[in-house]
Amino acid sequence: MSRASRPDDLRFAQEVLGLSTRAVHAGEPRTATGPLDPPLVLSSAFAFADAETAAGAFRGENDAYVYGRWGTPTVEALESKIAALEGGEAAVATASGMAAISGTLLTLCGAGDHVVAPRSIYGESARLLRERLPKLGIAATFVDGTSIAAYAEAIRPTTRVLYAETPANPVLAVTDLAALARLARERGLTSIADNTFATPACQRPLGLGIDVVVHSMTKALCGHGDAIGGMIVSSAELRERFADTVVKGLGAVLAPLNAFLIGRGVRTLGLRMERASASALAIARWLAVRDGVARVHYPGLAEHPGHAVAVRQMHAFGALLSFELVGGVEAGRRVLDRVRLVSHAVSLGDVRSLITHPASTTASTMSPEDRLAAGIGDGLLRLSVGIEDAGDLIADLEQALGRGAPTLQS
Ligand SMILES: Cc1ncc(COP(=O)(O)O)c(C=O)c1O
């Protein structure tokens, strides 16, 4: 089997079509006859046309399919689709979001190198930079991700990467991506942005000058909570380095079945994010004036400190918000135990709404001091808004926040 017969509609998709059209069509077969869906190819090995093709594939002289860890048609179809959505030259899929994050850093950095990253960041990414990479001699400095001056001050002669996650997990801190990209260019560094929260439907960091986008596709790209996966989007040149190190070498390959499921989810990304963003804004506005809520974090609110930057760099403000309850941890746990329609579960970006208590779950590996510095209070709840009717979600939250007995939703 050869890649040569695969129609390559990536350029066409990027230059002419809107995001939802790309989400449906990019990376999909566009032949006159045959299946409309990308075929689900589960084979771990591929037959060679002849001995010379096999030898040439190992010399890197042709692009024949060889082995599942080197690339498969189903995974490549998804790579083309996500590259088209992010406006990137190329993409490589990984086994999970953490594989994409750890893999990009391990490809770009070695012993003696240094990374600058924001303090407010997904807990496991923080742990990677704080605990795991230092064991390999890769150091990190954590800064206020909303301050480009703080990034600049933290740069050392050994710095290789400026890392961003925006809006950031879980307090939705916003980093100015265009300014960060400029700083990285000026100092000869590589900029990486985790675009999991926003998705390309709401924000496209490569268009703002960022070099590499990483994703947990487990979240809104998949959208249905049934597959773990990651993606790295970059230049074609960097893609080859990431694919060689992360997938071929470290073995963090995305399973074709997961690629198939995620690809199916991505087709409705535009619709889902439009709906979830509108509902999240309505819920954030409702929470902001409700008794018992001390603070609401949502970049779509005018009072959010990152609102002005978010307006500049985002097309919509996304499905995630968090809010701090008066009454701290007890008040937070009470809401978790009383929600009926919203599910108390980790993860985010699903069609169904999910609520978590970061301090005792996703951010529990951080020290109390680090959590405080990242703005994660004991009474903070993170809400991932799904595609249910906003009125029903508000009614569920109202009864969960209320004083009476919990009521069942119809
Ligand atoms: C912003 C962000 N990046 C990366 C990850 C890691 O993704 P995965 O669970 O697919 O490894 C997560 C997981 O919650 C996340 O929230």
The answer to whether residues 263 and 375 belong to one domain is no
> Residue 6: which of 79, 68, 57, 87 has the closest Cα?
79
Q: Is residue 192 part of a domain?
A: yes
pTM score: 0.94
Distance CA 221, CA 60 (A): 32
Of 219, 262, 348, the one to substitute when testing ligand 1's pocket (max ligand atoms within 8 A of C-beta) is 219
- Ligand 1 centroid from CA 325, angstroms: 25
> Residue 44: which of 255, 225, 194, 324 has the closest Cα?
255
Degrees, nearest 5: CA angle 57-63-64:
70
Report the pLDDT value the prediction gives residue 2, as an integer from 0 to 100. 47
Q: Which two tokens stand for residue 40?
A: 């689900």
Q: How many Å from the N-terminal Cα to the C-terminal Cα in the chain?
A: 53
The answer to whether residues 256 and 297 belong to one domain is no
Q: Is residue 151 part of a domain?
A: yes
DSSP, collapsed to helix, strand or coil, labels residue 304 as coil
- Ligand 1 centroid from CA 97, angstroms: 5
Print pLDDT tens along the chain (410 aa). 545 444 455 454 455 789 999 999 999 887 767 888 888 999 999 999 999 999 999 999 999 999 999 999 999 999 999 999 999 999 999 999 999 999 999 999 999 999 999 998 898 999 999 999 999 999 999 999 999 999 999 999 999 999 999 999 888 999 999 999 999 999 999 999 999 999 999 999 999 999 999 999 999 999 999 999 999 999 999 999 999 999 999 999 999 999 999 999 999 999 999 999 999 999 999 999 999 999 999 999 999 999 999 999 999 999 999 999 998 889 999 999 999 999 999 999 999 999 999 888 877 877 888 888 778 888 999 999 999 999 999 999 999 998 766 665 44
Residues 6+ apart with CB under 8 A from 248: 69, 70
Task: Output the residue whose Cα is nearest ligand 1's atom 8.
Answer: 97
Q: Is residue 408 part of a domain?
A: no
Atom of ligand 1 nearest to the CA of 362: 14
Count how many residues are written for the chain: 410
The answer to whether residues 157 and 259 belong to one domain is no
- What is the per-residue pLDDT across 7-28, written as a single tens digit (0 to 9) for each? 455 454 455 789 999 999 999 8
Q: Which single residue is written with the structure tokens 């990285």?
A: 184
Distance CA 284, CA 279 (A): 8
Output the domain CATH number for residue 105: 3.40.640.10
Of 104, 122, 192, 213, the one to substitute when testing ligand 1's pocket (max ligand atoms within 8 A of C-beta) is 122
Residues β-bridged to residue 2: 64
Q: Which two tokens stand for residue 289?
A: 């004036």
| Residue 155 DSSP label | -
**What DSSP letter does each residue of 9-71 carry, written as one string?**
-HHHHHHH--HHHHHHHTTS---SSS-SSPP----SB---SSHHHHHHHHTTSS-B--BGGG-
Written as one letter, the residue type at 113 is: D
The answer to whether residues 115 and 159 belong to one domain is yes
Q: How many domains does the chain have?
A: 3
- Ligand 1 centroid from CA 122, angstroms: 7
The answer to whether residues 393 and 273 belong to one domain is yes
Q: Is residue 148 part of a domain?
A: yes
Domain coverage including residue 299: 269-401
Instruction: Give the binding-site residues of ligand 1, using a 6 Å CB cut-off.
Output: 96-98, 122, 165, 169, 194, 196-197, 216, 218, 228, 230
Task: Output the residue whose Cα is nearest ligand 1's atom 16.
Answer: 122
- What is the per-residue pLDDT across 151-184, written as a single tens digit (0 to 9) for each? 999 999 999 999 999 999 888 999 999 999 999 9
